[in-house]
């Protein structure tokens, strides 16, 4: 494990510069705009696996003219561009995650928090899937997190 760089989930990270955000979008062939930069920054500094409304409500404070449709549009754009991944772990609500290494997600049914955990994905793929073109892998667990178990 890396001792030098702290990369724990749920913590805020140093805000990236506009320069860095713009470059990140360009790499993925997405033109920059105020809203897109804001939403990308949100995703990079929050690791809450946010819903559209979590993003919308927070950014609304700073930009009261923001439209919920813009958040939907932008996330769909990021999705197509390969910037984010969408989680179907919460009933009737899409959750988003900046695309990083493959990992599983655990959702606590009590507090609703979503945790990451490592998965050895080689162990997943069985012989039966020979001949299948795999584009996307998802591992979702549900239950109760340690904090909620203590109550």
Partner DNA sequence: TCTGGTTTTATAATGATTATAAGTTATTGT
Partner DNA sequence: ACAATAACTTATAATCATTATAAAACCAGA
Binding residues for DNA (CB under 7 A): 31, 33-36, 51-53, 63, 65-70, 72-74, 76, 92-94
Q: Which does 33 bind (CB under 5 to 8 A by kind): DNA, a second copy, none?
A: DNA
Residue 79 found at the interface with a second copy (CB under 8 A)? no
Window 120 to 139, contacts with a second copy (CB under 8 A): 120, 123-124, 126, 128-129, 131-139
Which DSSP string corresponds to 5-70? Answer: S---TTS--PPPPHHHHHHHHHHTT----HHHHHHHHHHHH--S--BHHHHHHHHHHH-TT--HHH
Q: State which of residues 89, 95, 96, 97 lies at the interface with a second copy (CB under 8 A).
A: 89
CA 33 to chain centroid: 20
Q: How many CB atoms lie within 10 A of CB 56?
A: 19
Question: Quick one: 44 or 102, whose CB is closer to a second copy?
Answer: 102
Phi, psi of 6 (to 5 degrees): -85, 130
Q: Which does 36 bind (CB under 5 to 8 A by kind): a second copy, DNA, none?
A: DNA
Question: Quick one: 51 or 119, whose CB is closer to DNA?
Answer: 51
């Amino acid at each position: 494990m890396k001792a030098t760089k702290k990369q724990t989930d749920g913590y805020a990270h140093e805000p990236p510069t506009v320069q860095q955000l713009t470059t990140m979008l360009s790499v993925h062939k997405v033109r920059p705009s105020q809203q897109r930069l804001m939403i990308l920054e949100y995703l990079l500094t929050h690791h809450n696996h946010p819903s559209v409304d979590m993003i919308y409500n927070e950014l609304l404070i700073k930009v009261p003219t923001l439209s919920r449709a813009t958040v939907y549009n932008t996330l769909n754009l990021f999705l197509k561009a390969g910037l984010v991944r969408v989680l179907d772990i919460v009933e009737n609500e899409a959750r988003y995650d900046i695309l990083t290494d493959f990992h599983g997600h655990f959702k606590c049914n009590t507090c609703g928090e979503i945790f990451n955990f490592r998965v050895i994905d080689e162990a997943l793929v069985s012989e039966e899937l020979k001949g299948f073109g795999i584009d996307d892998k998802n591992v979702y667990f549900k239950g109760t997190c340690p904090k909620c178990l203590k109550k």
